[in-house]
Amino acid sequence: WVLIVDFGSQVTQLIARRVREAGVYSEIVPFDKAEAVLAAATPKAIILSGGPASVHETGTPRAPDAIFAAGVPVLGICYGEQAMVAALGGQVEAGHEREFGRAELEVVADTALFDGVFAEGERAQVWMSHGDRVTALPDGFRAVGVSTGAPFAAIADDTRKLYGVQFHPEVVHTPKGAAIIETFVRKIGGCHGDWSMAQFREAEVQRIRSQVGSGRVVCGLSGGVDSSVAALLIHEAIGDQLTCIFVDHGLLRKDEAKQVVELFRGHYNIPLVHVDASERFLRALDGISDPEAKRKIIGRLFIEVFEEESEKLEDAQFLAQGTLYPDVIESVSATGGPSVTIKSHHNVGGLPETMKLKLVEPLRMLFKDEVRELGRELGLPETFVGRHPFPGPGLAIRIPGEITQEKLEILRAADAIYLEEIRNAGLYDTIWQAFAVLLPVRTVGVMGDARTYDFVCALRAVTSTDGMTADYFDFSHDFLGRTATRIINEVRGINRVVYDITSKPPGTIEWE
Ligand code: XMP
């Protein structure tokens, strides 16, 4: 296994991800815990992450001596390189030219670190983000790569197997970065590369057991992929010490609540409390049309209901959440500087700290696609694993204007037809998200010989890789025509269908 020592970079988890992709198990520890970890166990290799501090300032994080005393290969990345250089007797100074973003690395010497990745003399794109730089190397090191802003962009001591790179090999903007990390952990570190999601599952099950002991865990289940996978994994670890609470806010899609209950209570036999709070939510939303007000009401009420239910389970000490790594990064950067709130996302996973329960977050290390892989590994049906994302406030933000029971039913019916057509056309998996929106607009139509005056339904479908940017999906006119006809014929209350061809930006995926 590989130890990743964290100096506070925003992208430390990406190092872990790249190591996992190389088939090697890794653990991340904060820099000030590294010594204790190394006293108890010896990894095959150590990676030092980047970080926001400056090593030439006092009081900033240092690399403990234990790291270099362990006698295993070490790779320092960015701040990690500087911390290694400082610890071993070299020099780090504030850079004259700061380098941020794309840069060119020139490979000036061969080294085991670049074995099979770069040849001497090669120039390669790398991603830099540093103000300080190494200016003098410790004994035994030589420069193997240079860039405009960093004379020691890559350094190596092949005898002691100590390496440093000023650039970030863990990000995708360093195209050969993953190969460098793989070379380091496998060829230099001698790790086998046979680690898999099956082993993650096993290790995580052990970790949950030792964290929870004989305690009781409550888990908020939403029917989405993340909370489903978290619940299954925890259930595998501790069986009926887990109770799931499914707060049904009445804003779910057609048959969704039923499917969740059938799968978890019926099929998996997981203790599940199904709270039908739909009337309470609808009452609270009565007359509300502002999107942010809707989100706040739903978020607050969700927590209220969840707390009421979990208090009934008197001896619960732990709260399970399906927090993913991107949630962790976003919540860190959210406090790191001013940013404009476009939408105050209410996420059903986001429960308050005031609950005084200890958190169990088995997916904290994983990215969405890895969670899906773990879900498959756990035998979760494909219809759950491959689901499109669905917002916490549900259909409330797909009905611009006031929400009523009648509108919810109309929207559910139209949405179900749309998704059925998408599935029948074999398009579901190529689309990131598809849904119907019920507009608060009535228009005139003619059906048979009669005049109609009904709602407009907008259809939305986008492609995306992360939800941050998106393109509208290019359906055939044939598909759109067929779907519109079905919706108008089968759903009472809709007499006109339009297709939304806005990208994000400038639009957003949801209409509210
Ligand atoms: P937007 O509409 O901001 O959506 O382009 C990006 C992604 O976030 C989802 N979304 C939400 N998810 N609570 C959530 O849990 C929310 O309030 C919320 N608003 C938008 C949206 O469905 C898309 O996947």
Count Cβ atoms within 10 A of the Cβ of residue 194 and give its class: 0-12 exposed, 13-18 middle, 19 or more buried. exposed
Q: Would you call 304 a catalytic residue per the annotation? A: no
Distance of CA 488 to the CA centre of its chain: 38
For ligand 1, is residue 393 a contact (CB within 6 Å)?
A: yes
| Element at 374 (helix H, strand E) | helix 368-377
* Protein residue closest via CA to atom 12 of ligand 1: 391
For ligand 1, is residue 291 a contact (CB within 6 Å)?
A: no
For ligand 1, is residue 298 a contact (CB within 6 Å)?
A: no
Q: Which residue has the tokens 């989405």?
A: 224
Interface predicted TM-score (ipTM) of this complex, two decimals: 0.99
Active-site entry in 81, 99, 130, 168: 168
- pLDDT tens series, the chain, 512 aa: 999 999 998 889 899 999 999 999 888 899 999 999 999 999 999 999 999 889 988 889 999 999 999 999 999 999 999 999 999 999 999 866 778 889 999 999 999 999 999 999 999 999 998 889 899 999 999 999 999 888 999 999 999 999 999 999 999 889 999 999 999 999 999 999 998 999 999 999 999 999 999 999 999 999 899 999 999 999 999 999 999 999 999 999 999 999 999 999 999 999 999 999 999 999 999 999 999 999 999 999 999 999 999 999 988 999 998 888 777 655 443 333 333 455 555 454 455 656 678 999 999 888 888 999 999 999 999 989 999 999 999 999 999 999 999 999 999 999 999 999 999 999 999 999 999 999 999 999 999 899 999 999 999 999 998 788 899 999 999 999 999 999 999 999 999 999 999 999 999 999 99
Q: Would you call 78 a catalytic residue per the annotation? A: yes
For ligand 1, is residue 8 a contact (CB within 6 Å)?
A: no
Among residues 347, 345, 369, 367, which one has the least CA distance to residue 509?
A: 345
Q: Would you call 130 a catalytic residue per the annotation? A: no
Distance CA 85, CA 105 (A): 20
Q: What type of residue is 308?
A: E
3-class state of residue 234 by DSSP: helix
Distance CA 225, CA 228 (A): 5
Q: What number of CA atoms fall less than 13 Å from residue 199's CA on the CB side?
A: 10
Distance CA 111, CA 271 (A): 56
3-class state of residue 443 by DSSP: strand
Q: Is 500 annotated as a binding residue?
A: no
C-alpha separations of 107 from 78, 104, 157, 486 in Å:
17, 10, 15, 62
For ligand 1, is residue 389 a contact (CB within 6 Å)?
A: yes
Q: Is 223 annotated as a binding residue?
A: yes
Distance CA 483, CA 475 (A): 11
Q: Which two tokens stand for residue 251?
A: 């804003």
504 DSSP 8-state letter: B
Distance CA 141, CA 159 (A): 9
The residue to mutate among 294, 345, 390, 398, having the most atoms of ligand 1 within 8 angstroms of its beta carbon, is 345
Contact 77, 15 (CB under 8 A): yes
Q: Is 90 annotated as a binding residue?
A: no
Q: Is 227 annotated as a binding residue?
A: yes
Spatial CB neighbours of 368, under 8 Å, sequence gap ≥ 6? 225, 226, 324, 326
Q: What number of CA atoms fall less than 13 Å from residue 155's CA on the CB side?
A: 28
Contact 181, 169 (CB under 8 A): yes
| Element at 338 (helix H, strand E) | none
